[in-house]
């Protein structure tokens, strides 16, 4: 599996960055608002028709045509390669409505693993599971479902979270691959002009409104891949990794080791960092210029790791904070060394003054300070010279250690 920056796998901006596309979106906005209002009205009728008609080819055909009016266009490639005997479909996850789209092509059920239950769960097209006290109980319930004759296949998304569908796949969870011995992978690609397919912190209802606002959203079910069976002695995680690699190759994406938990952690970091960046504005002649919100966090984290290797005792948050100001490894190392030296010098001066005032009794209880110099200077000038010598020595040591660790040429 390859690694890729997690920030590339999600879109935190709903609108494009290019000025030309933003202008085009601004011109389209009145049309998009009218389309959204019309599609909300049509969508209510689509929901009523899907509830009234019995499950079958006619219902799926009518609903698929009406979904085209809603801006949801569904295309599939190689429909005949779909295996009717398979009880479990595995698909990559791009939008909140992937299961509805696949259900327009073939009957299948997707369990609601988290979120709303009851009417909302049913209205969204999910299958509600009542035995969800634990993951073991849920797996047992789904295994019984797969073993029951006459039931529609299960459709699961082992990524357990959506991505932008352009860069890579989240690491597949292993539990879906423990339900059956054979599965059929489904490769899904989704495209939409002008606006992003999803944003990580947006609700499904908000995503529905943006879907109605957009000119169209095209779902390409590119391949129903041949069924894949578990090999003898193969664990569930190995089986999951194999299927993940197959889907990644078919879609031209990267198979990553990033999980749903990594996505949640990245969203949390973005939530704390974006307000700070948005608050920092630079005054210009005719107004204010907002700093770009697209700081390369991955590059900053890599630089912080390199500084941490040289100064292992300095907290990582202190290093990152200084790097955000300097954007230079050498400058940050120098700043951190100066902070350390200033702290040691102040502590030494405090200890010396306390010892001269308190006499022998207080000197016995004072903390022991070990300055780097051979003797503590008697005058401020001597102490300043000692401080500069120690700072230079520590800086040379840190620089030499950094050069040796990364195999750099000392002449550079």
DSSP string, 326-393: H--HHHHHHHHHHHHHHHHHHHHHHHHHHHHHHHHHHHHHSPP---SSSS--SSHHHHHHHHHHHHHH
CB atoms near residue 396 (< 10 Å): 10
DSSP 3-state of 90: strand
At 347 the pLDDT is 53
At 55 the pLDDT is 83
Average pLDDT rounded to a whole number, residues 69-86: 83
Buried b (16+ CB within 10 A) or exposed e, 19-55: eeeeeebeebeeebeebbeebeeebeebeeebeeeee
CA–CA dist 92, 246 (Å, integer): 11
Give Cα 269 to chain centroid, integer Å.
10
| Mean pLDDT of the residues in the chain | 78
Of 124-128, 297-301, 334-338, 385-389, least confident by mean pLDDT is: 385-389
Only one residue has tokens 């990794």, namely: 241
CB 229 within 8 A of CB 83: no
DSSP 8-state secondary structure symbol assigned to residue 37: H
Task: Give DSSP secondary structure letters for 109-144.
Answer: B-B--SS--THHHHHTTPBP-S--SSHHHHHHHHHH
Q: Kindly tell me the burial class for residue 169, based on how many C-beta atoms sit within 10 Å of its own C-beta (0-12, 13-18, 19 or more).
A: buried
At 393 the pLDDT is 76
Q: Which of 266, 235, 108, 105 is nearest to 172 (CA)?
A: 235
Only one residue has tokens 């035995």, namely: 131
- Which of 3-7, 37-41, 398-402 reaches the highest mean pLDDT? 37-41
Average pLDDT rounded to a whole number, residues 328-336: 81
Work out the pLDDT band at 399, boundaries 50, 70, 90.
Answer: confident
At 82 the pLDDT is 78
H/E run at residue 189: strand 182-191
Work out the pLDDT band at 342, boundaries 50, 70, 90.
Answer: low
At 208 the pLDDT is 93
At 362 the pLDDT is 40
DSSP 8-state secondary structure symbol assigned to residue 232: T
Q: CA angle, 115 as apex, 111 and 119 as ends, to 5°? A: 75
At 130 the pLDDT is 63
Average pLDDT rounded to a whole number, residues 249-265: 87
Q: Note the pLDDT tens digit of each residue in 91-140.
A: 999 999 999 999 888 888 898 887 777 888 888 888 887 645 577 788 88
CA–CA dist 312, 321 (Å, integer): 16
- pLDDT of residue 87 exceeding 60, the answer is yes
Average pLDDT rounded to a whole number, residues 224-239: 87
Residue 141 tokens, joined? 């319930």
Residue 230: phi and psi, rounded to 5, are -75, 135
H/E run at residue 261: helix 260-279
Q: How far apart are the first and last CA of the chain?
A: 35
CB 249 within 8 A of CB 92: no
Only one residue has tokens 């909300």, namely: 40
Question: Distance of CA 121 to CAs 113, 115, 117, 127, 297, Å?
Answer: 10, 8, 5, 7, 37
Residue 228 tokens, joined? 């894949």
H/E run at residue 265: helix 260-279
Question: Distance of CA 182 to CAs 86, 175, 179, Å?
Answer: 7, 14, 9
Q: Note the pLDDT tens digit of each residue in 153-202.
A: 999 999 988 998 888 899 999 899 988 888 999 999 999 998 999 888 88
Q: How many CA atoms lie within 13 A of 368 on its CB side?
A: 1
Work out the pLDDT band at 10, boundaries 50, 70, 90.
Answer: confident
- pLDDT of residue 296 exceeding 70, the answer is no
- pLDDT of residue 338 exceeding 50, the answer is yes
Write down how long the chain is. 412
Work out the pLDDT band at 286, boundaries 50, 70, 90.
Answer: very low
- Which of 66-75, 276-285, 329-338, 366-375 reaches the highest mean pLDDT? 66-75
Average pLDDT rounded to a whole number, residues 356-374: 44
Strands 182-191 and 88-91: parallel
Give Cα 217 to chain centroid, integer Å.
22
At 36 the pLDDT is 94
Average pLDDT rounded to a whole number, residues 16-37: 93
Instruction: Tell me the sheet residues that pair with 220.
Output: 75, 189
Of 186-190, 218-222, 268-272, least confident by mean pLDDT is: 268-272
Four-point Cα dihedral 176, 180, 184, 190, nearest 10: -20
Average pLDDT rounded to a whole number, residues 227-240: 88
């Amino acid at each position: 599996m390859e690694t890729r920056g997690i920030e590339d796998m999600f879109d935190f901006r709903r609108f494009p960055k290019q000025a030309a596309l933003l202008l085009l979106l601004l011109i389209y906005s009145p049309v998009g608002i009218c389309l959204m209002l019309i599609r909300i009205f049509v969508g209510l009728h689509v929901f009523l028709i899907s509830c009234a008609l019995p499950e079958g080819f006619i219902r799926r055909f009518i609903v698929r045509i009406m979904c085209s009016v809603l801006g949801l266009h569904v295309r599939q490639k190689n429909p005949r390669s779909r295996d009717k005997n398979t009880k479990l479909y595995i698909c990559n996850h791009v939008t909140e409505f992937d299961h509805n789209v696949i259900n327009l092509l073939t009957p299948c059920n997707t369990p609601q693993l988290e979120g709303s239950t009851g009417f909302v769960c049913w209205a969204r097209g999910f299958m509600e599971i009542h035995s969800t006290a634990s993951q073991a109980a849920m797996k047992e319930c789904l295994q019984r479902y797969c073993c029951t004759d006459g039931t529609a296949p299960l459709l699961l998304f082992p990524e357990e979270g959506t991505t932008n569908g352009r860069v890579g796949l989240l690491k597949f969870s292993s539990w879906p691959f423990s339900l059956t011995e054979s599965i059929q992978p489904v490769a899904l690609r989704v495209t939409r002009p002008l606006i992003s397919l999803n944003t990580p912190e947006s609700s499904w209802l908000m995503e529905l409104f943006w879907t109605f606002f957009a000119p169209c959203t095209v779902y390409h079910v590119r391949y129903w891949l041949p069924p894949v069976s578990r090999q003898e002695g193969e664990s569930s995680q190995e089986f999951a990794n194999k299927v993940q690699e197959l889907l990644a190759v078919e879609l031209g994406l990267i198979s990553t080791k990033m999980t749903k938990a990594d996505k949640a952690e990245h969203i949390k970091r973005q939530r704390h960092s974006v307000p700070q960046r948005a608050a920092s504005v630079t005054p210009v002649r005719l107004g204010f210029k907002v700093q770009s919100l697209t700081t390369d966090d991955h590059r900053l984290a890599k630089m912080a790791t390199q500084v941490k290797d040289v100064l292992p005792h300095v907290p990582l948050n202190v290093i990152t904070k200084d790097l955000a100001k300097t954007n230079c490894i050498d400058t940050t190392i120098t700043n951190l060394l100066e902070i350390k030296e200033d702290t040691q010098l102040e502590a030494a001066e405090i200890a010396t003054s306390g010892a001269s005032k308190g006499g022998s009794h207080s000197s016995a209880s004072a903390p022991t300070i070990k300055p780097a110099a051979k003797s503590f200077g008697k005058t401020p000038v001597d102490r300043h010279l000692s401080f500069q010598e120690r700072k230079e020595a520590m800086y040379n040591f840190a620089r030499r250690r950094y050069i040796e660790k990364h195999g750099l040429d000392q002449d550079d």
